[in-house]
Structure 1
Amino acid sequence: MQLEHVSRPARPFPPAAPASGPASRQSAALEQLCRELDAAFSAAERGPRASFGQRVRLALQRAIADPGLLRPDQRASNPQSYCRHLLAADPLDRYAIAALVWAPGQASPVHGHRTWCGYAVMEGTLEETLYRWDALEHCAIKTRRHPRPPGAVSYVDAGRGAIHQLGLPADAAARAVSLHVYGVAGEQISTHVNDLLAA
């Protein structure tokens, strides 16, 4: 069974930060990301849904460009499994933002998605294996594998049209860190995102 460690903040959004210093940079970066996600929802209500994914990708791309986005404790790994740090959650339960930290050899299970989600690689080079769903065999079939270097950004809608496994190769020299946004309430990131599949 795949284990997953989740750390949670005390409040849904980052606490108010002092006017200067690393904490204020982090708070500002997360608040900006939340504003951009809120704007993506507003735009989707007014127009075609197709632009929503593009807005999420751009918001993630801008967020990872800020070196103060994560505190050192939010870059902590877990020796047993990749670690998911909940950074912020929308008070309307439309999304949750998390940092995932991967030690060498750690990977997600093969999964589709029960909700929309997006991620961006901040540090290290992850490896993504893509699959297609075989309805006759009731399993995921591997189609290709490719590296996801720092700056790589991805967005997918819910369903089995984007089955994958994400992880850090065992021979990697150091950890990897990625920023993820899921279309679920904060308390549901461990239970309502991944559709685990046999491969």
Structure 2
Amino acid sequence: MDTLTGAAPALTDVAAAVRASLRTSTDWTDAARLVADGLRGRLPGPEILTPAQRLGDPGKVAGHLLYSEPDGSFSITAVVWRPGQATRIHDHITWCVVGVLQGVEHEELYDADLNRAGVSDNLPGEVTGFAPPGDIHRIMNTGAETAISLHVYGTDLSRVGSSARRYYEEQR
């Protein structure tokens, strides 16, 4: 999607906040921090998705590309996680900011040697951001209800297809 014409006002507000944050950023780490700060208190509700989209997919985590900035500087995606669904351990091709709209997203952070470096349970309204390097993680829904999150990536996902740069095997 390359236009906000007819978009929900909440999505228009999110895109404007991202744009404003990126005007003053100096690098990817700064962009992630500024965009996260800009989205706190501005997150839409889960109704930014249709009722059908909010159901998710029983077979996999469901991502919905909501908007890509025409100049390719960022994309906004909503991700729907049914209970028990998780990503593989991965890192990213660019900075990312995640805001939880519904449910709880459990995140496990890893160091470069794939040792677990931290764990957090992100609740509705919480916004986090990160940038490579140091962005190796896995996200899962450990709760009993569907979780929905808004992801802003520093690239045009309609062009590159995925934000993941590389997947890792879990150390046992």
Q: Name the TM-score class by shorter chain.
A: 0.7 to 0.9
Q: Which amino acid aligns with 2:2?
A: P
Provide the alpha-carbon RMSD of the alignment. Answer: 2.1
Aligned residues: 169
User: Does the CA-based 8 Å contact 1:104-1:173 persist in structure 2?
Assistant: yes
Please state whether the residue corresponding to 1:62 is helix, strand or coil: coil
Range 140-149 or range 177-186, more displaced? 140-149
- 1:58-85 per-residue CA deviation (whole Å, 9 max, x = no partner) reads 3332332556533324423001111001
Task: Report the Cα offset of residue 126 of structure 1.
Answer: 1.4
Q: Which amino acid aligns with 2:74?
A: Y
Aligned pairs for 1:50-199 (under 5 A) are 51-66=30-45, 68-134=47-113, 140-159=114-133, 161-169=134-142, 172-188=143-159, 190-199=161-170
Task: Report the Cα offset of residue 15 of structure 1.
Answer: 3.6
Name the CA distance, whole Å, in 2 between partners of 1:119 and 1:192. Answer: 13
Residue 111 to residue 94, structure 1, CA distance change in 2 (3 Å): same
Given the two structures, how large is their TM-score scaled by the length of structure 1?
A: 0.75
Please state whether the residue corresponding to 1:118 is helix, strand or coil: strand
Residue 110 to residue 85, structure 1, CA distance change in 2 (3 Å): same
Given the two structures, how large is their TM-score scaled by the length of structure 2?
A: 0.86
Residue 67 to residue 111, structure 1, CA distance change in 2 (3 Å): closer
Name the CA distance, whole Å, in 2 between partners of 1:59 and 1:74. Answer: 26
User: Does the CA-based 8 Å contact 1:12-1:186 persist in structure 2?
Assistant: no
User: Does the CA-based 8 Å contact 1:40-1:55 persist in structure 2?
Assistant: yes
Please state whether the residue corresponding to 1:158 is helix, strand or coil: coil
Larger Rg: 1
Task: Report the Cα offset of residue 89 of structure 1.
Answer: 0.6
Name the CA distance, whole Å, in 2 between partners of 1:180 and 1:109. Answer: 17
Name the CA distance, whole Å, in 2 between partners of 1:103 and 1:182. Answer: 22
Alignment of 1:42 with 2:42, yes or no, is: no
Residue 65 to residue 14, structure 1, CA distance change in 2 (3 Å): closer
Aligned-pair identity in percent equals 28
Which runs of 5 or more structure 1 residues have no equivalent in the other structure? 1-10, 17-25, 135-139
User: Does the CA-based 8 Å contact 2:153-2:163 persist in structure 1?
Assistant: no
Which runs of 5 or more structure 2 residues have no equivalent in the other structure? none
